[in-house]
Structure 1
């Protein structure tokens, strides 16, 4: 087996023989766990070349380690770390220590406070996920994407440095899509391609606002976005949400008092309640932002999935004052693993964000971006969006029907016009937190309302996603949810 070069620290001024120094260094690496049992070691010739010593010196070091039981050899595998390591003799050279690369159990410096949600739970195997906003990776057009990616890899420039704003073809394709499907008059130079919408939001917060600025957010909303803003040194200020979306009059009062310099919201399918910002409030919000010179961060995370009535255009499509920066993603329409999101807005603002991106991430994955651009150019992305919209519309109906059949008195909901989840009110007397915990033990994951509350207080709601599961799986998930209902 071909091995990596193994540089070792040897000191020709050290009175210890070079073979002893080599044996000591290799033994220390083995005891520290840097070289694990069964790991191949370089041949004596290769290690001698790396260290600039005679091969016999390395053979002597290997012989000493073999005599102590640390390494072994056979004709087929050459030299390797012994699978059963002996205990180190007291005082033996090469004892593990900090200089030998032994891993420290804790940081040797002071850590700042961790993000509020620094870890993500790993679900037990077999758990059915009724998690809102999660798409089904089984629907991804893998063959078309794979073919486009292979063609992109043949272009060597895709494996080098490129434009920090994103592949020009993808930016052009996104500009066309945003113009045709969402009414945004944006050119390619007004778009920055990022590794997902989360990066887009984080970059915007760092580049377009100052540390300490207040950002109005929906009081029931998307916590990872709030944490991204907080990590950028910003303060999040909650604004209530009702059946018509964000309460703009409360935002206006905050802006008048100088409490906020920006607002982050999800006006199309509000996260998590799924309501759409009312037309009058849309106009009022844009006017408040224009007068107060507020930055509006509009997150349109699942605009492709609208099933009933006409889709509502983004706020950015009516922005004549240059106050809206539009955040989008391909995670829902294609796949989260592709990590493609974007910012669209005034070119000078996008250039400012791109300047920050150059120092944070340098650029995105040009080959992936070129492959996705080809899917847009060939119409495959558009066809896939149309197909998946029909699939998710059917799953929405299936989940609603299963809930009405099995949990008619426990949950109530309004059928959302779009999105990938239902926002369900829990009947009085039922504890959504306890229900969610029992459901997880029964093999189905759901999200209680507290997870979306800015104040972290309990809310009598469950958010149930239908994107990841097919109709049969949805029926089984609801059966488990019903079986877990607290009695």
Structure 2
């Protein structure tokens, strides 16, 4: 009876009382407190001790008998099953067991990988000069809601709600092929497109499927940690090259290629991240030539393609690729909202087929309902109209924000008005402690990055991205006023 004295019933718990009893008895058996072959008290005795109905204890015993924890001998009683190994704990073991909290710390080794230590940005402040996010208030949510509901409720439910193609929704790939060919000068069919959950998934698939440990990957000194971390996770060596007002330095790239084999180059050709500058046309031609000459993959990130303010954006490298060296990846997170995780990876058919097989083992398929809803919006021109509207709004916000920076913070910041994108690459006066300023701004309900995410490989200090697209004019004015007062 003493061994069962630790069984406690919580009448306020949502869990049935008989399951509480059964689970606590299982725990006592696992710990060795109730050893193999131990004879349990009768159901009547235990019910009396716990002050519950005998039927409740009978249910608990039946549950444990069914699972094999207990054995019943007719006329002799109920016992802990005899096939359990004997558990002997020394005093030191008992002390150690008491200290271990398995819900907190694993009993096995968990690797510590420093490149994974990135802070997760969450929306939480009233004001934000973020990394360059869209304004979800402009998104065509009503149209998307109607399209999503239609996909849920109409058509063959077995096909609609069952397993689909690992390449992604056929309808979305058909619409994307037309859309990308018309807007970006690509020459795709559905076989060239793999639907992914955003650019970060495209990067992961390419890193896991096409890189080997020890491969050399070239990135910009000023670049995106999200891409770099995928390459590091795959075991690649990161090699960096500088960038300037016209994009990445191709002389530096060629020197690296002459010294050692390069497997992949990551580039944001439309608006370099984080500086927003576009890769100049002559450099685009030369980059494709270098890729063909030295045999390296170009991962072209479609970053902010749709938001170019001075003229039509330069067409992607992928459209001029004659050697099959470019993988082109983009998403709808900037067109609609980051919460909608649908993107596309475009490349040669055999590469896409290979990556689709890899995608299957980590994510059987995407969100087919959402993918079909987006296909509906593409087919009906909703996304295209939304992008045209957003472009006008974001251009106005860019102009206002840059004017405010010039008027209110002229002596403290340097920047170039960006030709495109959703943020201003801003250099603060060296006398300003940027991390401290960011902390003080946060206390005023204003978020902006302290720039540390951009400093890992770069020699350029005290710079950060100040996003303007997600804030309306009044919010931009308030944000700049807060910065001015704090400085």
TM value normalised by structure 1: 0.80
Cross-structure match for 2:140 = 141
Q: Work out which of the residue numbers 59, 63, 69 in structure 2 matches 1:51.
A: 63
Listed as ranges, the gaps of 5+ residues in structure 2 are 1-12, 30-35, 67-95
Question: Is contact 2:198-2:343 (8 Å) kept?
Answer: yes
Cα separation, 2, equivalents of 1:21 and 1:317: 80
Q: Work out which of the residue numbers 404, 415, 432 in structure 1 matches 2:434.
A: 432
Cross-structure match for 2:403 = 401
User: What do the CA deviations read for 1:220-262 (whole angstroms, capped 9, x no partner)?
Assistant: 0111111111112212111100111100111111112224211
Q: Work out which of the residue numbers 468, 471, 476 in structure 1 matches 2:470.
A: 468
TM-superposed deviation, 1:105: 2.6
Cα separation, 2, equivalents of 1:360 and 1:125: 30
- 1:344 matched to 2:356? The reply is no
Question: Is contact 2:221-2:458 (8 Å) kept?
Answer: no
Structure 1 residue runs of 4 or more that deviate by more than 4 Å after TM superposition: 1-14, 17-23, 43-50, 121-125
The worse-fitting range, judged by mean Cα deviation, of 468-477 and 139-148 is 139-148
Question: Is contact 1:450-1:457 (8 Å) kept?
Answer: no
Cα separation, 2, equivalents of 1:380 and 1:474: 28
SS in 1 for 2:339: helix
SS in 1 for 2:371: helix
Q: Work out which of the residue numbers 170, 192, 209 in structure 2 matches 1:207.
A: 209
SS in 2 for 1:328: strand
Cross-structure match for 1:411 = 413
Q: How many aligned positions are there?
A: 425
The worse-fitting range, judged by mean Cα deviation, of 158-167 and 235-244 is 158-167
> 1:119 and 1:250, CA in 2 relative to 1: closer, same or farther beyond 3 A?
closer
> 1:47 and 1:451, CA in 2 relative to 1: closer, same or farther beyond 3 A?
same
Q: Work out which of the residue numbers 243, 265, 268 in structure 1 matches 2:267.
A: 265
> Which residues in structure 2 correspond to 1:72-151 (within 5 Å)?
103-121=102-120, 125-151=124-150
- 1:233 matched to 2:235? The reply is yes
Cα separation, 2, equivalents of 1:46 and 1:389: 69
TM-superposed deviation, 1:158: 3.4
User: What do the CA deviations read for 1:188-219 (whole angstroms, capped 9, x no partner)?
Assistant: 11011111110111101111222221110011
Cross-structure match for 2:196 = 194
Question: Is contact 1:328-1:341 (8 Å) kept?
Answer: yes
C-alpha RMSD of the superposition: 3.2
- 1:455 matched to 2:457? The reply is yes
Cross-structure match for 1:161 = 163
- 1:356 matched to 2:379? The reply is no
Question: Is contact 2:192-2:349 (8 Å) kept?
Answer: yes
SS in 2 for 1:109: coil
> 1:50 and 1:336, CA in 2 relative to 1: closer, same or farther beyond 3 A?
farther
Question: Is contact 2:394-2:469 (8 Å) kept?
Answer: yes
> 1:259 and 1:426, CA in 2 relative to 1: closer, same or farther beyond 3 A?
farther
Question: Is contact 1:443-1:480 (8 Å) kept?
Answer: no
Listed as ranges, the gaps of 5+ residues in structure 1 are 28-42, 55-96
Question: Is contact 2:46-2:57 (8 Å) kept?
Answer: no
